[in-house]
Structures are given as structure tokens and as C-alpha cells.
């Protein structure tokens, strides 16, 4: 049996997002993708552009009518088909307003 290492349960969710790496004025990579799951600590992202583990990443996540801006780090990235990559993102910095929107979104899964 594999032991779960995450501190926060991840909820299956399909949400559009935009990302850039590194965060800031001159990103090296930009792209669109969608979440496969999300928690208060991170998310799994499906996209067409790979990003190396260890890279900093800025994510703008669409949650209903709200946009959540989060900075994080790519923990893993793997190719699942010729044009699809899956990345694990660990959140590192999030404005309080974004945290509140994300908490409200996740609370809806728990009810």
C-alpha cells in the first residue's frame, strides 16, 4: 500500500488556467492548461508545454467568476502523450484574497 504524503486532500477539478515561468516581467514559458485536482497546498496541471521540476511558476486559475493568482514551484512534470504533460505544482505565495476564494471553492467540495 502506498502511503499518502500530501498534507491537504486534493479535490478533482477541471478549471482553466494560465501560467508563466519564471514569474515576473519576462517569462521563459507561457501557456494555458487545466487543473486535474486542487488543494490549499497545490494542484495538478495538464498542459501542452513541459516545465522543468524546480522551476518557479505563476498560475492564474479561473474559479467560477473569480481569478486566483498563485506563485509556486513545479514539483514534477511528466509526459503522458505526444502533446500532453502533467505537472505537480506546490503553492508558495498567494495573496489573501486568492486564498479566501480558493478556500471557499474547496469548501464547496466538502459539503
Residue 17 located in a structural domain: yes
The CATH number for 38's domain is 2.40.10.220
Task: State the residue range of the domain holding 60.
Answer: 11-110
Residue 97 located in a structural domain: yes
Residue 6 located in a structural domain: no
Q: What is the pLDDT of residues 18-74, one digit of tens each?
A: 999 876 666 678 899 999 988 889 999 999 999 999 999 999 998 888 889 999 999
The total number of structural domains in the chain stands at 1
The secondary structure of residue 52, as a DSSP letter, is -
Residue 84 located in a structural domain: yes
- Contacts from 24-29 at CB under 8 Å and sequence distance 24+? 24/58, 27/58
Q: What is the pTM of this model?
A: 0.82
Q: What is the distance between the alpha carbons of residues 91 and 57, in angstroms, rounded to a whole number? A: 9
The secondary structure of residue 60, as a DSSP letter, is E
Q: What is the distance between the alpha carbons of residues 95 and 111, in angstroms, rounded to a whole number? A: 25
Amino acid at each position: 500500500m502506498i502511503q499518502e504524503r500530501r498534507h491537504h486532500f486534493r479535490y478533482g477539478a477541471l478549471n482553466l488556467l494560465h501560467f508563466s515561468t519564471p514569474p515576473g516581467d519576462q517569462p521563459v514559458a507561457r501557456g494555458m492548461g487545466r487543473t486535474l485536482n486542487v488543494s490549499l497546498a497545490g494542484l495538478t496541471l495538464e498542459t501542452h508545454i513541459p516545465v522543468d521540476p524546480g522551476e518557479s511558476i505563476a498560475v492564474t486559475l479561473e474559479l467560477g467568476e473569480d481569478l486566483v493568482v498563485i506563485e509556486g514551484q513545479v514539483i514534477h512534470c511528466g509526459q503522458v502523450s505526444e502533446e500532453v504533460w502533467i505537472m505537480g505544482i506546490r503553492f508558495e505565495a498567494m495573496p489573501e484574497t486568492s486564498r479566501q476564494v480558493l478556500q471557499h471553492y474547496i469548501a464547496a467540495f466538502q459539503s
